[in-house]
Structure 1
Amino acid sequence: MNTENTKPAIVWSLWGAALLLLCVVFRDSLIEMATTWTNVEEYSHGFFIPIITIYLLWVRRGELVLVQGFKASLPGIIIICLGLILFILGGLATIKTMEQYAFLVVLTGMFGSAFGLRGLRVGAIPLLFLVFMVPFPSFILNNLSSKLQLISSWLGVEFIRACDIMVYLEGNVIDLGSYKLQVVDACSGLRYLFPLASLAFLCAYLFKGPFWQKLLIFLSSMPLTIFMNSFRIGVIGVLVDNWGTEMAEGFLHDFEGWAVFLLCMFLLFIEMWVFSRISGRKLAMGELVQIPEEWSHTARRDIVPILNKSVFAVLLLLCIGAGASEVFKGREDIIPARKAFLTFPTTLGSWQGRNDYLTQFYLNELKLTDYVIVNFIQPETRNSVNFYSAYYQSQRKGAVVHSPRSCIPGDGWQISSFEQREFTDLQLDGQALQVNRAIIQKGESRQLVYFWFQQRGRMITNEYMVKWYLFYDAITMNRTDGALIRLVTPVDKVEDIAVADKRLHLFLKDLLPELPAYLPGKIIEPVYSALPG
């Protein structure tokens, strides 16, 4: 085939077919990503990200030239191969976030295959901008949200106190005396942070200034979001103290959110204006972010359609990816046999227990398969221990173990001490017991908490290692089942914390022999596969 005389329609049809095939291969991941944009307010800006990227590439199309030789496309082909490997690993572990990032890598590789290294240099930042459309995994989102809640609550309370109003803070609960305000997930600031970070990245790209200024413009989006969200919480607290809880509800609450976001944007532009003055350029507000003139001059030249034979290699690789995706789609978890928590004993040694239950709201949030809550008490000593375990037969599609570190700050509790401990005299599945040990406080009340993650025969105390082994075992064992075990005992005002430690230690001696029947280890017999759906 004479590549010089190939009709433009054929060239564009081949690359269009490659792009369409890419979307077919990653269709499930793209659909889930779009669903998140629709249902999760933190990512409602996601629809605009690809549109902005397309516009930025279109403006600079005069700098793009379709390469002809396969050698010039080789870097792009290598990137596609890396992206497809990431996609295959994500498919084996059914981690949609990994598949979504793999989509961006393959898309970048296709761009490099078409336009070569020069094209990658031109399109690097617009393509990198697409990262902002991929939602974070839920466990990162939960951890980030809980930390931002506490920071925003503390700064908001400081603002309220500066207004000469008596206020008391318990974790994420702001106590104004006659009113109590809880800083929930929706008020953590993530709804500002992700859109503002995207906007700050775009502004930094289009801002004329040295790299360090561009970097500071982008990085300033997080402290700016935290500060302004805290200011909003403080203002709401002042309004509620004067005019009641109606000031924190309905239209006014939503309007305050929009107003604060617009104020964040204004402060971002003020920052860029200050940087322009420092650099000696006295730019007006309207000139801070604009398309460079040199882009406009080169944009008049359209891309000359040249057939690059590498497009056939791209199509072949994507067909292999499509075949792999169909194979992985039918892959099902191996689910080990276990006893249901419904049969868990309410008598352990000298401990007598009563079952407790979660409300439907928490069941919907946790998405667990099975759970048990038993409030145990020793009749002769009146010592009490709350035992809770949540079991997941499959931790795919958003159904994952929730760390107590993310949940404890709710309802005013604060973690005053946190460490890991190992008990060599206590064993589970033939291993010395390892637990997270936390002392939590709410006002004058104290509780001692032990918890760990029992995952396919492993005792894990780090939630990030839980995710790593979840990924590893999904590939090597085709299993993603796992559980959380948590023990809580109240600590009296005058009680030594060592006494509470001893209480939980004694309770564990009675508890651990019962757990293996309910929490499967590495050896699974018999086994069966999860039913579709």
Structure 2
Amino acid sequence: MTKYVGLIIVSLSIAVWAYWNGLAEAFSRWGNQEEYSHGFLIPMVTLYILWEKRGVILSSAGQPLWLGVWLVLIASMVFLIGEVSALYLLIQYAFVLVLIGLSLVIFGKGTRYTFVPILLLLFAIPLPYVIEVLLTAKLQLISSALGVSFIRFCQIPVFLEGNVIDLGVYKLQVVEACSGLRYLFPLMSLGFITAYFYRVTFWKRLVVFLATIPITILMNSFRIGVMGVLVDNWGISAAEGFLHDFEGWIIFMACAVLLFILIWLLEKLTNRKQSLAAVFAIDPIVVTSEDKNKLAAGLANIPLLLVIAILFASGIASQLLDQRSEFYPEHPPFVNFPLQINEWTGKHEKIDKDVIKKLGMTDYLLANYSNHQNETVNFYVAYYQSQRKGVSPHSPRVCIPGGGWEIAKFERTNAAGHPVNRVLIKKGEHRQLVYY
């Protein structure tokens, strides 16, 4: 039995080695982005669930399924596409697919008990910026509006422009205008875990999971409102540093409490007599020698050896692809860009350092040009030396509403033979024409 456990460890180790580039990027984002800091806990929760269910997993283990080999093959193709196209997301999703494939060749039909815990790892995968903003940009605008309503309810003057909340002495969420809801992904992860352990019908589990979205919006709005009140009464320091982080943790814990209050209400409304402890109980662990022998028999199989070979080949391919040299086109610094173009005279503008860090650009040009007729053109260019694996420009379609402007008209057109987006934006009585 010991040598077969060693075989499992070897196969997992090779998988981690082969997919390390994508996994390392996920670790980095967990540490650098607050909205994904819960990622460190997700693998531990998955391991805990698998350990607690080891009895039922082993007792239900059957013959290895060749479907697992095919899944690992598909995952390897996705992995190679991710390596070549420099998309970490594909590598990370492929790794989850590999784990499911390994489960199929090790536990066979017992995978029905490992599938959901492995699927939980998807909540630890940081989303690409484009997908993240599609999911959260509208929710952030709603949250900001509700937060401002709370501040005004407290008789505090405030001005809202998109996601920028101006209190006069301080502007809240200037950087968060492009970062979405910070509690959404951690709370959705908690909601999924809670729904998994919740021993009820499917519709109740679905309600618990989906409820994380409105709970996040309401509590994030409350957080914004409280921050505004603190700034108005105790100054800017109340919105920064330790107090800001401490207040964030309190709000997240309040979200979790609301989630469990919802579960309590569901139990009361459906007249169930069980306590919360009973509905979250875990099956008792019973591991027999017969189960161990069944697992050992399942491990002595060709499918597992094929999977190990595929993973090893993927690791070699990853090492070879990593040795590719990246060629950067010559980039004259934007500081040398001419400020006098015919009758147009320009003036450089600066972007806040926090915003530059959030955007992740290598260089930028922001200048306002005007002519003798007092016509003005705002010119902005962001330069990314490399967009390999995870770095990408922010879409104006998200940042424009985040700055308080409404997109009135959007269309595709041509400029000097190149396709461009022509956007008419408005804010009150003001109108601007944007090309990008």
**Length-normalised TM-score, structure 2:** 0.88
Shift of residue 165, structure 1, vs aligned partner? 4.4
Structure 1 residue 212 corresponds to structure 2 residue 203: yes
Q: Which amino acid aligns with 1:92?
A: V
Counterpart residue number, 2:435: 451
8 Å contact kept, 2:87–2:390 = no
Question: CA contact under 8 A between 1:421 and 1:436: conserved in structure 2?
Answer: yes
1:115 correspondence with 2:143: no
Equivalents in 2 of 1:189, 1:260: separation in Å? 16
Q: What is the identity, as a one-letter code, of the residue corresponding to 1:40?
A: Q
User: Are 1:189 and 1:229, in contact at CA under 8 Å, matched by a contact in 2?
Assistant: no
Structure 1 residues 154 and 106, CA gap change in structure 2 (3 angstroms): same
Identity %: 39
Contact 1:189–1:225 under 8 Å retained in 2:
no
SS state of the match for residue 420, structure 2?
strand
CA pair 401-73 structure 1, distance change in 2 beyond 3 A: same
1:191 is the counterpart of 2:182: yes
5+ residue gaps, structure 1, are 1-7, 453-533
Matching residue within 50, 61, 70 for 1:57: 50
Q: Which amino acid aligns with 1:49?
A: I
C-alpha separation in 1, matches of 2:249 and 2:330: 51
State the partner residue of 2:16: 23
Which residue matches 2:313? 320
Q: How does 1:333-412 map to 2 (within 5 A)?
A: 333=326, 335=328, 341=334, 344-356=337-349, 358=351, 361-379=354-372, 381-409=373-401
Deviation digits for residues 9-29 of structure 1, max 9, x if unmatched?
A: 222222221111111111222
Amino acid at match of 1:318: L
Q: How far does the alpha carbon of each residue in 1:340-374 deviate from its partner, in whole angstroms, 9 at most, with x for none?
A: 65664444444333445556555444343444334
C-alpha displacement at 1:336, in angstroms?
Answer: 5.0
Measure, in 1, the Cα distance between the counterparts of 2:334 and 2:166: 38
Q: Per the alignment, in what secondary structure is the counterpart of residue 308 of structure 2?
A: helix
How many residue pairs get aligned? The number is: 429
**What amino acid does structure 2 have at the position aligned with 1:314?**
V
Letter in 2 for 1:427: A
TM-fit CA distance, 1:164: 4.6
Change (3 A) 1:93 1:289: same
Among 403, 411, 420, the alignment partner of 1:421 is: 411
User: How far off its partner does 1:74 sit?
Assistant: 0.3
The correspondence for 2:118, drawn from 116, 127, 146, is 127
**Which amino acid is 1:174 matched to?**
I
- Residue of structure 2 aligned with 1:221, choices 201, 212, 215: 212
Q: 1:333–1:152: structure 2 CA closer, same or farther, 3 Å change rule?
A: same
Cα displacement (A) at 1:127:
1.0
Superposed displacement of residue 280, structure 1: 2.6
* Runs of at least 5 residues in structure 2 that lack an aligned partner in the other structure: none
1:442-493 CA-to-partner distances (Å, cap 9, x unmatched) read: x76x3514132xxxxxxxxxxxxxxxxxxxxxxxxxxxxxxxxxxxxxxxxx
Q: Is the 2:164–2:404 Cα contact (8 Å) retained in structure 1? A: no
Q: For residues 372 and 86 of structure 1, do their structure 2 counterparts lie closer, same or farther at Cα, with a shift above 3 Å needed? A: same
| 1:150, distance to aligned residue in structure 2 (A) | 2.3
**Alpha-carbon distance between aligned partners in 2 of 1:377 and 1:61, rounded to the nearest angstrom:** 71
* Residue number in structure 2 paired with 1:506: none
Q: In structure 2, what is the equivalent of residue 83 of structure 1?
A: 75
The answer for the alignment partner of 1:331 in structure 2 is 324
Tell me, what secondary structure is at the counterpart of 1:303?
helix
Amino acid at match of 2:107: F
In 2, Cα distance between the equivalents of 1:345 and 1:407? Answer: 27
Q: Which residue identity is paired with 2:98?
A: V
1:357 and 1:226, CA in 2 relative to 1: closer, same or farther beyond 3 A? closer
Separation in 2, partners of 1:357, 1:45: 34
Instruction: Answer yes or no: is the 8 Å Cα contact 2:181–2:220 preserved in 1.
Output: no
Q: Give the Cα–Cα distance (whole angstroms) in 1 for the partners of residues 156 and 348 of structure 2.
A: 43
Q: 1:423 and 1:103, CA in 2 relative to 1: closer, same or farther beyond 3 A? A: closer
**Change over 3 Å in CA distance of 1:241–1:355 after alignment to 2:** closer
Residue 292 of structure 2 is aligned to residue 303 of structure 1? yes
Moved more, 273-282 or 136-145: 136-145
Superposition RMSD in Å: 2.9
Q: How does 1:236-251 map to 2 (within 5 A)?
A: 236-251=227-242
1:438 aligns with 2:424: yes
Query: Alpha-carbon deviation of 1:146?
Result: 4.6
Deviation larger for 24-33 or 58-67: 58-67
Q: CA deviation at 1:160?
A: 2.8
Distance 1:451 1:58 in 2: 55
Matched to 1:317, the amino acid is I
Q: CA deviation at 1:225?
A: 0.7
Structure 1-normalised TM-score? 0.73
- Cα separation, 2, equivalents of 1:238 and 1:355: 36
Structure 1 residue 132: Cα displacement:
1.1
2:87 aligned residue: 95
Per-residue CA distance 1:303-334 (angstroms, 9 max, x = gap): 32222232211111112111211221123445
Q: 1:185 to 1:149 in 2, by over 3 A?
A: farther
Q: Which residue of 1 aligns with 2:150?
A: 159
- How far is the alpha carbon of 1:40 from its aligned partner? 2.1
Residue 277 of structure 1 deviates from its aligned partner by 2.4
Q: Which amino acid aligns with 1:280?
A: N
Q: Any idea what the Cα deviations from partners look like across 1:229-278, whole Å, max 9, x if unmatched?
A: 11122233334444444443444333322222222111111111122223
Letter aligned with residue 160 of structure 1: I
Q: CA deviation at 1:142?
A: 5.0
Kindly provide the amino acid, as one letter, of the partner of residue 195 in structure 1.
Answer: P
Preserved CA contact (<8 Å) 1:173 1:180: no
Q: Say if 2:256 is the partner of 1:265.
A: yes
Distance 2:176 2:348 in 1: 32
- Greater Cα radius of gyration, structure 1 or 2: 1
User: CA distance change for structure 1 residues 283 and 159 in 2, over 3 Å: closer, same or farther?
Assistant: farther
Quick check: 1:74 aligned with 2:63?
no
Return the offset for 1:212: 0.9
Query: Does the 8 A contact of 2:401 with 2:407 survive in 1?
Result: no
Residue 56 of structure 2 contacts residue 285 of structure 2 at CA under 8 Å; is this kept in 1? no
1:32 corresponds, among 21, 25, 50, to: 25
Confirm or deny: 8 A CA contact 1:217 1:268 kept in the other structure. yes
Which residue of 2 is the match for residue 497 of structure 1? none
